[in-house]
Amino acid sequence: AKTRHFKWEVEYMHWSPDGPESVVMGINGQFPGPTIRARAGDTVHVELTNKLHTEGVVIHWHGIRQKGTPWADGTASISQCATNPGETFVYRFKVDRAGTYFYHGHYGMQRSAGLYGSLIVDVAEGEKEPFHYDGEFNILLSDWWHKSSHEQEVDLSSNPMRWIGEPQTLLINGRGQFNCSLAARFSSSSTANECRLRGNEQYAPQILRVQPNKTYRLRIASSTALASLNLAIGKHKLVVVEADGNYLRPFSVDNIDIYSGESYSVLFTTNQDPSNNYWISTNVRGREPKTPPGLTILNYSPTSASKLPNSPPPVSPRWDDYGSSKAFSNKILALTGTPKPPTTSDRRIVLLNTQNFMDGHTKWAINNVSLVLPATPYLGSIRFGLSNAFDKKRPPDNFKHDYDVMKPAPNQNTTSGNGVYVLKFNTTVDVILQNANALKANVSEIHPWHLHGHDFWILGYGEGKFTESDVSKFNLKNPPYRNTAVIFPYGWTALRFVADNPGVWAFHCHIEPHLHMGMGVVFAEGVRRVKRIPNEALACGLTGKLLMNNVHK
């Protein structure tokens, strides 16, 4: 195993992700940030210097479990103090398992500002993947607004809240087209004008060049701030083989759903007419789309890359066709050999997801607590017993049994807090994510929940309110092992994980504005076992004072 060294500088820079010039958060002058490629068992060492001038920064390695290095998880207020302008933080952690991952900012709404990139882990030297392919591509999906993330932040926190709306553009590897469409000629609306691209523009699509009659692996991860997506390749079947770094029982589909925080590998075979090119397209799901599809081209060699496909981009299921999304989710099952869940759990935490008001501000709350992160990161404050650093009251394990999840709440007010779910080390925990009606009648949204520091088994999905009798329907045989799971409108999702990773871990909706509006909880487990937290992770709030006092003693 090797150590892979990277020296990164994060800075704002001018960039044109979709045509018009914007300001994006880049790394070493690149957007998206550089791709990290390593092998299972390697150590990744990133020296991250903050060149932002006026704000702190952290980077989270999404899907990497950080066993033994909880301070390298890159969550501001949770695992570390944000790194100040001009300062450097060293992230050093092991990538213990092959898979498709990504990284992103985890402070304020820096992910929305464009702070993200891919992290690909290949199998260890001499090991083989359980499937064959001749070549591979990697695409990172995101969505883009012309309003800065700072303005979005102010909009969301204002009274009354101003919703950020749908993204202007869907990006594929940081590239999309706002002023024009690659598929204008197939569009019925006369307003769409054809892109005239030379190919060297920052917003020109990255074309995937293939040879006929080969099998390719397409790695796909979604770092979107808001959009749930559906991805298809015109006329090509997709065989899904990996999700969030775990192998799946392969299954074949025409298109896949991918929610923010998820990753997949799909295999496709280039068995179509090689004198044509084909669309790769993404479309919005679960919200009425006001954003054109994200597009790029699958280019069969030796056909010219500038030849447009001869038919329109593939159609995705209707945005509100949740039946097709549920059918897709239910096809996702673990490949034999994936770790199996313990057959029983020690604790069940039921988390009701609601949209609320707090003094006129719109919030999201979990069991009626809207998360507001503390000034002192939990990892340090819990490790050193600084119990004044956050709410001493533990958040509730359940909600009122007579709460009607199908209707707007009679009392829509909530409270904020930053208490912690303390999990007994090495115990098995079930989490039931319970969706509900939002503020408006007949509205319930999709929320992709992501857990730091672990994978969990998705034991099942259900409609309406979770009841005790649903336990008997849990899939304990081959549940997918993942780090992100969606809850469907008015439904519930059951998860199980083992609290075996000493540290403090965020568990939250991966929709950036939702997290910003309080949609998350914090788990702490085995924190007393954590050794040697680097001082740089502690140099703020009450742990910062503690360090100072020790120096002056």
Which parts of this chain interact with Cu ion (CB under 5 A)?
A: 447, 509, 511, 514
Tell which residue, 486, 453, 485, has the closest CA to residue 60: 453
Q: What beta strand segments (E) does 73-162 contain?
A: 88-94, 99-105, 116-122, 135-144
Binding residues for ligand C2O, rule CB under 6 A, total 10
Among Cu ion, ligand C2O, none, what binds residue 219 when CB lies within 5 to 8 Å by partner kind?
A: none
3-state secondary structure of 182: coil
Residue with smaller CB distance to Cu ion, 511 or 527: 511
CA triplet 195, 171, 328: central angle to 5 degrees? Answer: 120
> Among candidates 48, 111, 122, 60, which has minimal Cα distance to 84?
48
Is residue 454 a contact partner of residue 483, using CB atoms and an 8 Å limit? yes
User: Minimum distance from CB of 119 to ligand C2O (Å)?
Assistant: 11
CB of 490 to ligand C2O, least distance (A): 25
Check residue 226 for interaction with ligand C2O (CB under 6 A): no
Q: Which of 464, 492, 351 has its CA nearest to residue 405? A: 464
496 vs 508, beta carbon nearer ligand C2O: 508
Q: Look at residue 509 and give the partner it binds from Cu ion, ligand C2O, none, a contact being a CB closer than 5 to 8 Å depending on partner kind.
A: Cu ion
Closest CA to 510 of 14, 28, 63: 63
State the binding partner of 366 from Cu ion, ligand C2O, none, CB within 5 to 8 A by kind: none
Residue type, 261: G
420 binds, among Cu ion, ligand C2O, none (CB under 5 to 8 A by kind): none
CB of 41 to ligand C2O, least distance (A): 23
Task: Report the candidate in 203, 241, 204, 235 with the shortest Cα–Cα distance to residue 219.
Answer: 241
CB 504 within 8 A of CB 421: no
Question: Kind and range of the H or E element at 240?
Answer: strand 238-243
Interaction of residue 482 with ligand C2O, rule CB under 6 A? no
**Quick one: what does residue 94 bind among ligand C2O, Cu ion, none, with the CB cut-off 5 to 8 Å set by partner type?**
none
CA distances from 377 to 271, 504, 527 (A): 53, 9, 13
Between CA 15 and CA 32 the distance in angstroms is 10
What amino acid occupies position 502? P
Reduced to 3 states, what is the DSSP secondary structure of residue 291? coil
Binding to ligand C2O (CB under 6 A): which residues in 488-507?
506
CB closer to ligand C2O out of 102 and 481 = 102
| Overall size of the chain counted in residues | 553
- What does 106 interact with, of Cu ion, ligand C2O, none (CB < 5 to 8 A by kind)? ligand C2O
Tell me which of 94, 175, 452, 454 binds ligand C2O, using CB under 6 A: 452
Q: Which is nearer to ligand C2O, 183 or 369 (CB)?
A: 369
For the beta sheet containing 238-243, the strands, ordered from the edge strand earlier in sequence to the opposite edge, are 169-172, 135-144, 215-222, 263-269, 238-243, 246-253
- Considering the rule CB under 6 A, would residue 510 count as an interface residue with ligand C2O? yes
In the bound state with ligand C2O, the residue whose beta carbon lies nearer, of 107 and 474, is 107
Site string for ligand C2O, 81-120 (x = CB under 6 A): -----------------------x-x--------------
Tally Cβ neighbours within 10 Å of residue 151.
Answer: 13
Residues 338-367 within binding reach of ligand C2O (CB under 6 A)? none
Which of residues 503 and 518 has its CB atom nearest to Cu ion in the complex? 518
Asked whether 226 and 250 are in contact (CB, 8 A), the reply is: no
Q: Which of 219, 383, 450, 454 binds ligand C2O (CB under 6 A)?
A: 450
Q: How far is the CB of 224 from ligand C2O (least distance, A)?
A: 11
Contact (Cβ atoms closer than 8 angstroms) between residue 256 and residue 100 = no
Write down the least CB distance from residue 519 to ligand C2O, Å: 11
Q: Least Å distance between CB 110 and ligand C2O?
A: 11
Distance CA 111, CA 269 (A): 33
Q: Is the peptide bond before 160 cis (omega within 30 degrees of 0)?
A: yes
Q: Are 509 and 520 in contact (CB under 8 A)?
A: yes
Cα–Cα distance between 202 and 496 in angstroms, integer? 43
Q: Which residues from 251-290 bind ligand C2O, rule CB under 6 A?
A: 261
Nearer to ligand C2O, 111 or 175 (CB): 111
DSSP code of residue 423: E
Token pair recorded at residue 143: 């969505």
Question: What does 285 bind: ligand C2O, Cu ion, none (CB cut-off 5 to 8 Å by kind)?
Answer: none
State the nearest-atom distance from the C-beta of 450 to ligand C2O, in Å. Answer: 5
Site for ligand C2O in 181-210 (CB under 6 A): none
Among Cu ion, ligand C2O, none, the one that 261 touches (CB under a kind-dependent 5 to 8 A) is: ligand C2O
Closest-approach residue to ligand C2O (CB): 62
Prior bond to 20 cis, omega within 30? no
DSSP-based three-state secondary structure for 88: strand
Residue with smaller CB distance to ligand C2O, 106 or 219: 106
Report, in Å, the least distance between residue 260 CB and Cu ion: 9
Q: Closer to ligand C2O by CB, 79 or 169: give it.
A: 79
Residues 4-63 that bind ligand C2O (CB under 6 A): 60, 62
Query: CB under 5 to 8 A by kind: which of ligand C2O, Cu ion, none does 266 bind?
Result: none
Q: How far is CA 516 from the centre of its chain?
A: 14
Nearer to ligand C2O, 52 or 119 (CB): 119
Site residues (vs ligand C2O, CB under 6 A): 60, 62, 104, 106, 261, 450, 452, 506, 508, 510
